[in-house]
Every structure is written in structure tokens, then in C-alpha cells.
Structure 1
């Protein structure tokens, strides 16, 4: 059978049998597009694909100067494809079984937002809100929405895609209870506990109620559509500049900051794992390595050597 037909069947399997998210399906399709450009791969019969050709493809990926993480993802998608072929008995032996692939990722520690910058950002947006004379304009409504998004990112550690895709049915505004559909369609719950954060979410809902109930998405843009991940990113950049925050901010940095600050407060890492929706504790453990200032403070104030004097 031709590779292109088998890939089409695999995408169908991922979408309708494994129920993978639309975002994941789109990423798979993008990765296969790069494979298509390699030696007319899609035109080959599957029997022509062996480990020699696959190794050649991996070398081909390195020629684009891609990040190791991107190469690792593309290889993982290809592995999943061949696992599917083997399981469906389309091929007898998965060629990846005879390959040893080790792609070392750069050990880039997650960047967090300094607490002074979070305060500066929130102070600016709340002051801007309070300076509005009229609460009827869309400008006022939009800043309420923007504050609600910022509060949610900081108080829950949600991914920007999770915030953007929240439905009205996912949120209980009175209890602060939020149901989240994370990666791999894994559901988790998290609570907004600060009263000021809950108040801004309630005010936002009251201003956008008709659009929200019509479109079902909780966060809405000027056109009454879903407030997208890109729009949230641009919104944060806008307030970063207006508040004169001297640090480049992204939505994901709120998530990193959420995890790091909870860890610094002594919260068990397994609770943080659950709140972030990490499948593996090893993913969460990266936050144990990122704050050298905190480490210095702990060692200087808690280490027993400070009580020993020999002079």
C-alpha cells in the first residue's frame, strides 16, 4: 500500500478512534507535510520503507536547524504511525524496533515573571479600569475581560489554550470551580479562590452574558467570537508595554510562575502536578531547579552551619 493512503487512515484513526484534539491532529498533519517533501516519501509503497530510509529522514530533519524538541516530536509522530501499522498488521515488523534513537533536548529552564512585574501589570490594569467614567463602552468591557484573563492565568496556571477554549458550562462563577479539558482530552478541576479574582470573572460575565450564552465560549472578542490564544498573547504584550514592565511576558510564563510560587510556599509537588495537568511528575520537577535566589535565601537562613562559630 502507498504511504499517503496509510497516513490518511492513520489520521482518521487518531481523530475518530483515539479522539485526539483538533490541535493535535493539526500538529500531526503539519509534521507529515515535512515527511511528504522528503524523497517523494508519500509515493512509496510501505514495503520500501526501512530503518535506513528512516535514519536518512532524521538526518534530513537536522539539516533544517530545528530545535531538538521539534525533531523529537516529529520522530514521535512517525513512531506512532508505524506502531499503528504494526498493530493493524499492515506491516510485520516496525522498523523503529531495530533503531536506537536518542535526541537530547536542551535543558532550558522555564522563565517566570518576577513578582514585582506581576504586581506592576495588575496594578496598571486595575487602575485603568477604575479611571473609566462610563461602563457602557466596549473599551471598558474589554479591559474587564482582559483583567479576567490575566487573573485566571495567574491564579490557576492554566495553559493559554485551556483559557481560550473554556466554555460557560465549565465554570461555576459562585464557587470558583473550573473544569478544564487539558492535553490528551484529560479532564481536571481547579478552583479560583481569591475573592477579587472571582469578582472580576462575575463582572465580566455580566457584561458579555448574551454573547457568551450565544457562542458558548467563556472569553469573547469584539466580534462575539472566541478570544483566541494569539489575541491573549497580544493583549499581554500590550499591557506589558503600557505598564512599562521591563520583562518580555508570555501567557505560558504565568503558568511557570504559578507553579514556582506554589513550590516556594511549600506546596507538595504532586498537588502542583495535578493542578497543572501534567501526566508525569518528571515534567513538574523542572520547577524544583529554577529559582536560585530562593535557594540562596533558604541556605543562608536555614542551614545549621549559620549557628556554628569557631572564632
Structure 2
């Protein structure tokens, strides 16, 4: 019987559902197609194999029911077997067998494939989103919150609730927990009291999360709506756009950028063009491309909070050519996805050419990188200002700028850097260096070197926080606020936390703004060019500084690529500015020599004036 018990533990909820269908006389081929996937379930490869599997399962369960069930049920089953050669059950008697044999499904594990526990249709669409195991599903839900299901075709709110309830019921066996906020309302939709209906030329302009579309323009009967069954649970254009945006919930910067382009286009469509987004044709898209070059004054305003009535979709009435190109490509990609999800019948943006832009020497604005002398001056000044015990803010800034400037980190990477992933690393040349492992863009992990000067700055920052940087098992964010502000938002964020919370990436902009103002006031003998460069300094300037200095010091380009986390070595090659700098220096020297020669010629001509010449 122990072998039967082991076999019983292998059966899952999917197996029991299939067995009930088998008892109700559904053909094995239909059962295999409905409940199983032949890639995950070899026993469903043929109708014959499916039938054998279910008959064996039924026989095992009946044996267990005879042994462990009530005498009445056991006698009934034995009589059925004696008469028919095997137990013939109805749906009701099968349920009795399950209960009598205490049939509990085997416990799911995080490493189990999705196909073991979900029907083929659901499993197929989850796998298409990169969710292969139950552990992947928990991580996917936690990364996207309560609206995780919007980016998965054929998984609506009802099915999503069932899946989350199942995951929570098996948290103990999975060893994983679904976050509490997975049940929250859609983060791309504001509370009902903040929603404003949009549609018509006099409509208010509101951000996407506060937007509702009037019936006539919501796209529920759009001309371009697909006639076949859609893969997303979207009844109108706004819900469809939100479903697309939910694909990027785990990439906040991308989400913000894409949402900006989507809400601009949607607002233009219903308020300027007077058409539903799903009714737009190629000529409409061409008209929007022209609109991008010169938005109407009603669409342009100063930067304010998205909750403000003064909010407007555009901050400039003359967007750059690069911004226009970006908008067109984002919208083309969005429409392509909506067509693939069978929400739209076709993509009108495929008939629109990209706006013309200047092909620049480098896609990355490396001119923002600090010059070697300015970078050295800033480091020295920050180091000196960090020395006094009271200058805690300077020590925080010093640690941040060195972490980004000496290790080439992005804002988000610096904010996410943790002490437990920072370790000393033995160098072949005897120089002491540390290694920091981070999760960068596109969720790619990489390891970067950290200078000893940065380590010293981080130690000082940790002392200010009251934390031990060199504790036996140190843990926590490398950079974190020293004091929690008294605002309600800050108290909510940090209240009840078991460890210190890191800086938000956006906060680094404020930190570097403070640094820039201090440097402009305190650094002496700044040339006009240096002053201008300092005025434009951003957190990303430190990353560009690392790239340009590494290339100028002949660090191999593949090493620079790995440190910066670039996907393509062509991107990294932009930092190879030695030739460009040498060209500029040499030509500048030529200009200087020419000016000196001209000055000498003028001086000689002045000394030999006509009055001194004979015959005058």
C-alpha cells in the first residue's frame, strides 16, 4: 500500500478534474486536449495512453477507498468490481471515493512547471510571458502587483483571483509568499472620485490614470477592432492601452516613458481628432506626426504634479526631432502588440514613415561627461568638505558620486546596490579593489569594480547612519537616508520596516542638484566652459565620466562594456573619444600657432612703418 500512497501523492488537481470527466464518459482525446499538454504530460500524447493513465489512476484510488473507506462504500465497490470487472462509478460515487481515500493532491513546489498545475491554455500564455515555473509566477505577480494579469492574454480578473488564492493556499509548500498588494486595485487607474470623462474638443486634459473615455469615443465599437476572439480582457481602448503598459510594470523608467506617449496620443485622438483610438487610420497617424512637431498651446504647460489641474501632456511646444521619432516608434510598437493580441485588426502606424532626424556621431550624450580636471577638482573638494564631523550631507554626496563615477553605475543601480553583495576582490597586480554585484537594466546581473576611495566614503556614510560597514554579516542598502522626513508619505514608506530603506532613484537628482549649486558657489577660477558644464551636471554625468576616462586610459573596450552593462559593444565604442579629443586639441593648437604668427606679422609690419622707409 505504500507504493499506492506514493502514487496517489503524485496526482494533481488537474488529474482529478480529468478523472471526473472520464467518469462522465468524455472521450480520452477530448480530456487530453482540455486538461493536459503533451509537452508536460507524456501520458496525454495519444488517446490510448490517456485512457490507460486514467484507468490506472481510478484503480489505485478505488483500492485505497476499499482499504480506508467505510464498510458500506467498500462493499459497494467490491460488488461493482465483481460484476463488471472494474468499479463503475458515477460522479457522486467518485466524490465519495476521493473523500474516503482522503485524496489530497500532491503539494506544489516552486520548481514545478506551470503545465503541472494549470490547464494548457493558461500555461501556454504564462510561458509566453516568461513564466515557466510556479516560482516564476509568484515573482511575476509580486513584480506587477494586483494588475499582473492584464499583461497575460486570456487571464481576466476572475481567473486571476483564483490563481492568487491557489498560490496563497500553498504558500507553505512553495516557500514563497504572494505580496499583500497583489490584491490592490489597478495602479494605472486612480480612485473613482478622481476619474474625469474625456472626449470632445472642450474636454479637460488629464493623465491616463485619471482618464475615462466617453461612450461615443471609447473604442468599444471602433472601426479597427478585430472580429476574432481577443487575447486580452479589454472592452475599450483605454483598457487595451493599460493592458499594454502593464507589460512594463517591472521597468519603471520604461513604463513612465511609454505611458507619456500613450496618453498624449489617446488625448489627441479623442479631443483633437474626435475619433476613437481603435478607429484611427493612416492619415490620422500622419496628422498626429505633424502635431508632434508643433503641439497646440492647449496641450503645452509647465511641469507640475500629475494630480494638478494645470497638468498638460507636453512640457515644450517644440519637441526635438529625436523625441518625435521616439514617440512614433513607441506607438507603432504598441499598435503591433494590440494587433498581436487580436484587439485591433491592423496597425495603421505601419503606413507612417519615421520623422527625419540628424544622424549624430553618438547616440549617448557623452558631452555631459566631466573633463578629467573638473572630475579631479570635484573629488578633491568633496573629500575636503566631508572631513568635518558635522558635514554628514557632504559625506552622503561624496559616497554617491564616487559609487557612480568610479563604477559606472546608473541611478537605479546605485539605489539598489546592497552591502551583502559587495566583497573584497584579490587583484593580480596587488592593488586592493572591491567587487559589487548589481542587477542592472533589463534585469541583467553584473559585477563592477569599486575603488578603495569609494569604500572609504561608504564607510563614513555608514558611520553617520549608525551602521557597521565591517560587521561580520553586514546587510542593507549602500546608500540610504540618514533621517526619515516627517511627511506622511515618508512615514508610511519607512514605518514598520525591519531594515533601513534605500534612496529612491529620483532622489539622487535632488542630491546632485544640491551638489551642483555648492560647487558653482565654492569652486574657484572656473572657466566659462567649465561653469557651463557644471550647470548641466546630472547623476548620469558621473557614469559618462567613467566611460570616457576608462576609454582615454586605454582600458579594453570589452572591459568597459561589461562594467557599464551595455548590450552592444557599438554603444560602448562611443566612449572611445581619444581620437576626437586629440583632433580637437591638435586643431586648437594649430589655431593658436596661426594666431601667434598673425600677431607677429602685424607687429613686424607696425615696426616697419612707411614713414621709416627710404624715399618716402
Query: TM-score, length-normalised on structure 2?
Result: 0.42
The equivalent residue for 2:120 is: none
Q: Are the counterparts in 1 of residues 440 and 446 from structure 2 also a CA contact under 8 Å?
A: yes
Q: Are the counterparts in 2 of residues 173 and 202 from structure 1 also a CA contact under 8 Å?
A: no
List gaps (5 residues or longer) in structure 2.
Answer: 1-219, 221-235, 295-316, 426-432, 485-500, 588-616
The partner residue of 1:84 within 337, 348, 355 is 337
The equivalent residue for 2:575 is: 287
Q: The residue matched to 1:39 in structure 2 has which SS?
A: helix
Aligned: 1:243 with 2:474: no
Q: The residue matched to 1:38 in structure 2 has which SS?
A: helix
Alpha-carbon distance in structure 2 between the residues aligned to 1:74 and 1:92: 22
Q: The residue matched to 2:446 in structure 1 has which SS?
A: strand
Q: How does 1:52-63 map to 2 (within 5 A)?
A: 52-63=283-294
Aligned: 1:75 with 2:331: no
Seen in structure 2, the aligned counterparts of structure 1 residues 158 and 243 have a Cα distance that, compared at 3 Å, is same
Alpha-carbon distance in structure 2 between the residues aligned to 1:221 and 1:43: 48
Q: The residue matched to 1:190 in structure 2 has which SS?
A: strand
Stretches (4+) displaced over 6 A: 296-299
- How far does residue 222 in structure 1 lie from its aligned partner after superposition? 4.2
- How far does residue 59 in structure 1 lie from its aligned partner after superposition? 1.0
The partner residue of 2:366 within 110, 117, 124 is 110
Seen in structure 2, the aligned counterparts of structure 1 residues 144 and 173 have a Cα distance that, compared at 3 Å, is farther
- How many residues align? The count is 287
Q: Are the counterparts in 1 of residues 266 and 277 from structure 2 also a CA contact under 8 Å?
A: no
Seen in structure 2, the aligned counterparts of structure 1 residues 179 and 76 have a Cα distance that, compared at 3 Å, is farther
Aligned: 1:208 with 2:442: no
- After superposition, give the CA deviation of every residue in 1:276-302 in whole Å (9 maximum; x if it has no partner): 122223322222357633346799xxx
- How far does residue 24 in structure 1 lie from its aligned partner after superposition? 1.9
Aligned: 1:8 with 2:242: yes
Alpha-carbon distance in structure 1 between the residues aligned to 2:586 and 2:555: 16
Q: Which has more radius of gyration?
A: 2
Q: Are the counterparts in 2 of residues 180 and 187 from structure 1 also a CA contact under 8 Å?
A: yes
The equivalent residue for 1:161 is: 412
- After superposition, give the CA deviation of every residue in 1:88-118 in whole Å (9 maximum; x if it has no partner): 1222332233333244246275222121111
Alpha-carbon distance in structure 2 between the residues aligned to 1:180 and 1:122: 24
Alpha-carbon distance in structure 2 between the residues aligned to 1:221 and 1:197: 18
Range that drifts further, 2-11 or 57-66: 2-11
Q: The residue matched to 1:220 in structure 2 has which SS?
A: coil
Q: The residue matched to 1:231 in structure 2 has which SS?
A: helix
The equivalent residue for 2:452 is: 195
Alpha-carbon distance in structure 1 between the residues aligned to 2:260 and 2:420: 32
The equivalent residue for 2:99 is: none
Q: Are the counterparts in 1 of residues 336 and 347 from structure 2 also a CA contact under 8 Å?
A: yes
Alpha-carbon distance in structure 1 between the residues aligned to 2:239 and 2:379: 52
Alpha-carbon distance in structure 2 between the residues aligned to 1:208 and 1:268: 38
The partner residue of 1:223 within 483, 504, 508 is 483
Alpha-carbon distance in structure 2 between the residues aligned to 1:170 and 1:52: 53
- After superposition, give the CA deviation of every residue in 1:258-290 in whole Å (9 maximum; x if it has no partner): 111111222222222222122223322222357
The equivalent residue for 2:262 is: 32
The equivalent residue for 1:127 is: 384
Query: TM-score, length-normalised on structure 1?
Result: 0.79
Range that drifts further, 58-67 or 183-192: 183-192
- After superposition, give the CA deviation of every residue in 1:145-175 in whole Å (9 maximum; x if it has no partner): 2211121122111123322343444434786
The equivalent residue for 2:395 is: 144
The partner residue of 2:564 within 276, 289, 306 is 276
Q: Are the counterparts in 2 of residues 113 and 257 from structure 1 also a CA contact under 8 Å?
A: yes
Q: Are the counterparts in 2 of residues 178 and 191 from structure 1 also a CA contact under 8 Å?
A: yes
Q: Are the counterparts in 1 of residues 424 and 434 from structure 2 also a CA contact under 8 Å?
A: yes
